[in-house]
Amino acid sequence: MTLPRAPLQQILTKYPPKESSLIMVLQDVQDAYRHLPLELLVEVAKALEVPKAKVIAVATFYKAFSLEPKGEVEIRVCRGTACHVRGGLLIMDEFKRLLGIEEGETTSDGKYTLEAVNCVGTCAMAPVVVVNDTYYGSMTVNKLNRILRATKSSKTADAAREETE
């Protein structure tokens, strides 16, 4: 399968073709393609005149990047300190159990990706879970079930929240 090149071309025109643009370009590629496909990394390397090996080093060093495609629903469970002491671990364990995957994995149908993040900056509402771009605070096991149910019927963020309150 070849990937559409237009988004990449557009990203590349946004930044000056030099090494210091690398991380920003990869951020945009990650957003546009939901991962960093190897074939595109080769093109990024060529365009920015950075050795391919260096591109790979950067792509694997930073957590924002993933070489594997991410699921349609990206669940990020906060594992920051505030969330940890308020029971974040339990939330993570329950997601793992319900989705049948480990941290960092994607379900085989490509629907869910489960990830741990170190603090999303809403510690006052610990424990916190971010589903795609929606934040859920004061998480409980019950709320978690409702969130999963809402994502199955792919409701909008606000509707899902109404339901979980």
Give contact residues for ligand FES (rule: CB under 6 A).
78, 80-83, 119-123, 126, 128
- Which residues, 103 to 162, sit near other proteins by CB under 8 A? 117-126, 128, 133-137, 140-142, 158, 161-162
Output the smallest distance, CB 28 to ligand FES, in A.
25
* Residue among 6, 61, 102, 109 that touches other proteins (CB under 8 A): 61
* 137, interface contact from ligand FES, other proteins, none, CB < 5-8 Å by kind: other proteins
How long a stretch of residues is the chain?
Answer: 165
Inter-residue contact 32 to 25 (CB < 8 Å): no
Inter-residue contact 119 to 126 (CB < 8 Å): no
In the chain, DSSP assigns E strands to 73-78, 112-117, 129-131, 134-136
Please give the torsion angle defined by the CA atoms of residues 39, 54, 104 and 119, in that order, rounded to the nearest 10 degrees: -130
Distances (CA, A) of 83 to 99, 103, 146: 21, 16, 20
* Residue among 9, 10, 60, 132 that touches other proteins (CB under 8 A): 60
| Residue (32 or 130) nearer to ligand FES, CB | 130
Output the smallest distance, CB 72 to other proteins, in A.
19
Q: Could you tell me the sign of the dihedral formed by the alpha carbons of 100, 120, 44, 11, in that order?
A: positive
What is the contact surface with other proteins in residues (CB under 8 A)?
Answer: 18-24, 26-27, 38, 41-42, 48, 50-54, 56-58, 60-65, 79-87, 90, 93-94, 97, 117-126, 128, 133-137, 140-142, 158, 161-162, 165
